[in-house]
Amino acid sequence: MDQLTRRSFLKRAACLGGGALLSQSPLLSLAQTNPQAPPAAQIKPTLVAVKGKDPYGSTLRAIQELGGIEAFVRKGDRVGILVNSPFKNIGASVNPEVVLAVLEKCFKGGAKEIRYLKDPHRGYWERSPRSGELATVIKSLKYESGDHVSVEIPGGLALKDARVTKDLRECDVFINVSITKHHDGVRYSGALKNMMGLCPFSTNSYIHWGTLKLGWYGDLNHLSQCIADLNLIRKPELCISDATTFITENGPYGPGKLASAETVVASTNPVSLDAFCCRFLGLQPEDVLMIRKASQHGLGEMNPDRLRVKSLSV
Amino acid sequence: MMLWILLAWSTPLWIPAFSEGDEPKPREPLLRLLPLESDLKGWTLDGEPQTAEGIGLFELINGGAEEYVKEGFRRAVLTTYRNPGGKRINVDIYEMASQEGARRIQRKKAGDKGKKVFVGEEASMEDYYLNFRKGAYQVTLSGYDTQQQTLEWLLHIGRLVAERIGASP
């Protein structure tokens, strides 16, 4: 197994252990009802949903409400950011305004380097009216090296190992920026599915075709399990989902009918984020098999009623 | 893991059999179907067009390739045109093994919701994109806004592509 960095290993162990514990209801209930606990106003939310006309401003606010970028990025950190941005059709890739807000925050927070873990489509940044103003931020980015390494997944049920970008293990902080959108087969794409962006075509082909059933979506159970397994490799420190404007059909590539929820959602947990965001496509978390399977791995809470959600408008 | 990769790459079993007679001429360069910049009043190609053959389409458009491959996809060229004001229009041309395959893809992508327009043999315009079919080709053009001017350019570029398909040797 390839070595993850020490810091990421410790974080991963803490996250997996903590996730497994918190997914059991008695402890969570205890935390919610403990009379010694600080008043509700002082407890940080686990998920923030910011509605507004300006995706850039909404993203800044969402990060702030989760404790500010300093809660995730320390001075000198190398940040890896995985953005769903390879598709040129509108509503099929994250709005670049959302990404620019995250990048700017990371640099201001002292990030030494930001590695863009999956290259965007050509012309992506120019879709943002802020691309000129933030040209230095864009120029400072390092893009994917193209090198992949094999990583074993000890807890994986369908995916026992995977090839993932080598850059992932070289970052201290991992940020997952997804778009909430329709996706053929699995119905919904968000943070969990976005992890496939770390893998080369060979691994993603296995995830789709591994049981040799016909079709890219011939075995949804296998596909969903593999996505859940893939998320065991490394849990992001911060997850953001763009639910501003997104396709509601013909996903993942589009074009298709658009919906605009004008909302940016942030969380420290990809399962909770997806469980919350699938509502924008009219789905319940239990309708999306990969969310259920990731939750069964102990990766996060899928019942939105049990999350500390802060919703606001800007 | 290697076995299934080889199987998957060598024989996509769900591809329907070739329908002879309406098959496009093999190996004609697809790039020839893209409108010339000289016909586009300031619009220029935004970088090199991308091409794919067979299941290589999955590498370009991910799961979006599923329906095409099912219906007998052969080749594609995907590109973007850009005007001096920075507007972009995407043009994706898919060559299918048969007219029937292209027709099924057209129905799947366009449905029956869009506005009928005259481009190729069947065409449908939605808020910001246009789907049409001509012969064994299915073509999708998309913009980034719903302005009338953008829709007019979608139609104009679409018709140029349709003409070039019609002029195929």
Q: Tell me, yes or no, whether B16 lies in a domain.
A: no
Q: Which of B13, B80, B140 sits opposite A123 (nearest CB)?
A: B80
Class of domain A59-243+276-313: alpha beta
Query: For residue A18, is pLDDT > 60?
Result: no
Query: For residue B12, is pLDDT > 90?
Result: no
Decide if A88 and B64 are in contact by the 8 Å CB cutoff: no
Q: Tell me, yes or no, whether B12 lies in a domain.
A: no
Mind telling me how many Å the CA of B129 is from chain A's nearest CA? 7
Decide if B4 and A206 are in contact by the 8 Å CB cutoff: yes
Assess B124–A contact: CB distance below 8 Å, yes or no.
Answer: no
Q: Tens digit of pLDDT for each residue in B113-125? A: 899 999 999 999 9
Q: Tens digit of pLDDT for each residue in A35-91? A: 444 455 568 899 999 999 999 999 999 999 999 999 999 999 999 999 999 999 999
Decide if B80 and A122 are in contact by the 8 Å CB cutoff: yes
pLDDT value at residue A217: 75
pLDDT value at residue A215: 67
Determine phi and psi for B33, rounding to 5 degrees.
-85, -10
- The DSSP line for chain A is -PPPPHHHHHHHHHHHHHHHHHTSHHHHHHHHH-TTSPPGGGSPPSEEEEE-S-HHHHHHHHHHHTT-GGGT--TT-EEEEEE-----STTTS--HHHHHHHHHHHHHTT-SEEEESSPPPTT-GGGSTTTTTTHHHHHH-EE----EEEEE-TT-SS-SEEEEEGGGGG-SEEEEEEE-EEETTTEEESHHHHGGGGS-HHHHHHHHHTT--SSTTS-HHHHHHHHHHHTTS---SEEEEEEEEEESSSTTT----EEEEEEEEEES-HHHHHHHHGGGGT--GGGSHHHHHHHHTTS----GGGS-EEEEE-
Query: For residue B17, is pLDDT > 70?
Result: no
DSSP symbol at B10: H
Q: Tell me, yes or no, whether B15 lies in a domain.
A: no
The residue among B41 and A155 whose pLDDT is bigger is A155
Residues whose CB falls within 8 Å of the CB of residue A60, separated by 6 or more in sequence, listed in order: A101, A105
Mind telling me how many Å the CA of B169 is from chain A's nearest CA? 31
- Which CATH number covers residue B146? 3.40.1000.70
pLDDT value at residue A199: 95
Q: Tell me, yes or no, whether B1 lies in a domain.
A: no
**What does the pLDDT average to over A156-176?**
97
Domain count across chain B: 1
Q: Tell me, yes or no, whether B33 lies in a domain.
A: yes
Q: Which residue of A has its CA nearest to B130?
A: A255
Decide if B58 and A201 are in contact by the 8 Å CB cutoff: yes
Q: Say which range, A16-30, A209-223, A274-288, B11-25, has the weakest mean pLDDT.
A: A16-30
The most confident of A24-28, A102-106, A197-201, B36-40, by mean pLDDT:
A102-106
Residues of chain A with C-beta less than 8 angstroms from the C-beta of B70: 215
Give the integer Cα–Cα distance in Å for B81 and A203: 33
Residues whose CB falls within 8 Å of the CB of residue A1, separated by 6 or more in sequence, listed in order: A151, A152, A154
Q: Tell me, yes or no, whether B65 lies in a domain.
A: yes
Its domain, for residue B106, covers: 21-166
**What does the pLDDT average to over B92-119?**
94
- A to B CB pairs, distance under 8 Å: 83
The interface pTM score, or ipTM, of the predicted complex is: 0.82
The tokens for A225 are 């399990």
pLDDT value at residue B23: 53
Mutation for B interface: A213, A216, A223, most B CBs within 10 A: A216
Assess B105–A contact: CB distance below 8 Å, yes or no.
Answer: no
Residue A220 CA from chain centroid, whole number: 21
Mind telling me how many Å the CA of A201 is from chain B's nearest CA? 7
Q: Tens digit of pLDDT for each residue in A239-298? A: 999 999 999 999 999 999 999 999 999 999 999 999 999 999 999 999 999 999 999 999
The tokens for A102 are 């995250």
pLDDT value at residue A219: 87
Q: Tell me, yes or no, whether B50 lies in a domain.
A: yes
Q: Tell me, yes or no, whether B7 lies in a domain.
A: no
Residues of chain A with C-beta less than 8 angstroms from the C-beta of B144: 90, 127
Assess A206–B contact: CB distance below 8 Å, yes or no.
Answer: yes
Sign of CA dihedral A146, A149, A154, A157: positive
Query: For residue B81, is pLDDT > 90?
Result: yes
Indicate the pairing of strand A78-83 with strand A173-179. Answer: parallel
Decide if B140 and A255 are in contact by the 8 Å CB cutoff: yes
